[in-house]
Structure 1
Amino acid sequence: MNRGDLNDLNTFLTIAEHLSFRAAATQLGVTSSALSHSIRQLEGRLGARLLHRTTRSVSLTDSGNRLLERLRPGMTQISGALEELKGERNRPSGRLRIYAQPWAVPTVIAPMWQHFLSCYPDVHLDLVVGSEPSIDIVASALDAGLAVRERVPVEMTAIRASAPMRAAVVASPDYLAKHAAPNTPDDLLSHQCVQYRNVGEIWRWRFEQNGSEKRVSVRGSMTVNDTDAAIRAALDGLGIVYTLDVLVEPFLSSGQLVRVLADWSPNMEGVFLYYNGRRQLSAALRAFINIIRPAAGRKDCSCVKRPV
């Protein structure tokens, strides 16, 4: 069966429902002559006459009645399925797949996931956590991803998902008792630093002071690709770590870690949610965007159900 068959069968069903070419044409938004042409094509392919038509009336032939009886249940199911899909398009439901690095879970998603899922109980949040700064969400069959601004793929649409974040350079009191705290970024070259691997390369630590930016390729006896591992290493006195303030704030407050180079620690743009803006967004993703967008600027937000 081809598309023409389906169109002609729909034409036949509409005419059979109204027993009027004019009423059927009005419903379908076409001319009566177009319907006549469609019916003639269908009758020609079937080799059977389906309608009796006079200047005053339209009725079904025996063949037309038999075809109607066979088609009606199936078309009712199809119509129901289409209406159900339309409803799902407007009602947040189904699986929502989001990619994030481990550090983005406590900083961005965890503060809002209980609120999001309570607002939209028919949504199943499928959180894919990986070490890559960003991935091809289309090839990976994901709805969206979280990344710092500079790692958002250029072809993706991005919105802010968090407030700006401050960098933090930290070490344990035990480490600093054995090694003098650095006063400038260049002093790090004489320290043990926990290096961070980013997309196959060692990330250069970024510093900023008085509008001037500085990058330093630190050295050390340990390399990780996970912020939790880096912080754990700092807590164990293995060296100095570059991370986000929000991730180590509890350890700074408790005295387990100490901040160094505070005057050089820059503010970061924060985290962005990226997605394919050229595709129709699911209702679940629209709902996620509508909650994460205000959450990027404040800690509390209500269920926002307006469209994006």
Structure 2
Amino acid sequence: MKLFDQFKVKNMTLKNRIVMPPMCMYSAAADGKATDFHLMHYASRAIGGTGLIIVEATGVSPIGRISDNDLGIWNDDQISGLKKVVDACHAQGAKIAIQISHAGRKSQSACGQPLAPSALAFSNEYQQPAELTKIQLADIADSFRKAAFRADKAGFDGIEIHAAHGYLLHEFLSPLTNKRTDEYGGCLENRVRMLREVLENIHSVWPEKKPIWLRVSASDYNKNGINGNMMIDILHSVKELIDLVHVSSGGLLPDPVASYPGYQLPLAKVIKEHCQIPVMAVGLLNDPEIAEAALHNDNIDLIAFGRKLLRDPYFALQAALKYNIAGYLPQAYERAYHR
């Protein structure tokens, strides 16, 4: 079964293709430090057989958090709590990455006014952001660099840059939210500039042997926004700086998106075909059979099981037992399954 085949990117070898994607837990204190909840939450999925765990969106600055209860990685005091999570997951056989993020105009932190490429509010329920100055842009790119340095110190195996779901880097990429007239707005090359600078800053401190990847929204579900073809062009422009693409969609606009099992698979498939880069698919992929079909028929490399892994930390273990895949039942649990 391909779902349980190993997968390697750079020096990160996963024991299977099952991924826990980043999902905000809103369980950190205002200091942004990881707590015992995070330790138990992520380690339980490692015990349950998940191959790769990606820690939730972690703010590169206080105002860069989605909420004041999100994890942070903007100072050295936050490293030790994250390292405990990393060490616990490693001890149970999982690899672990971290998604580093700036929320842009969707920040609801009490730290101050949100920051964005252009002064356009997400909706009437959100505060109007301030348009970023060039000095602030340089500071944010540097905050990603420092966050990546701390992530390496904490021992993470990989790093995911959040450029999806309407947060800051996605806001720069989409013509719907980027109305700048300087070198960071207008044509696609300019709209990609901030993402490129962030990636270059990260490469200056992140070990070459460890993978870097992007989470992207490959469709804004608006005729004037990003679509699959535009995302292909975006990825081609930064392809030499990334090792994998985590393909999602939406989040830029407050309009609801019709979703169903596998609804984002066509976007992942077209990116894999045209960009020739490994892809991770996500989107209500709750069933091992659907995941297996995507791995074979759509040439997908990794499958993220979000809500499924929230409901069942032992999803991978249960699937391994169902399909007679050896090596997943912890000795401590054997009495529950064998007589």
Q: Is the pair's TM-score, using the shorter chain for normalization, greater than 0.5?
A: no
TM bracket, shorter-chain basis = under 0.3
Higher relative contact order (CA 8 A, sep 6+): 1
TM-score (structure 2 length as normaliser):
0.22
- Higher-strand-fraction structure: 1
TM-score (structure 1 length as normaliser):
0.23
Q: Which has the larger radius of gyration?
A: 1
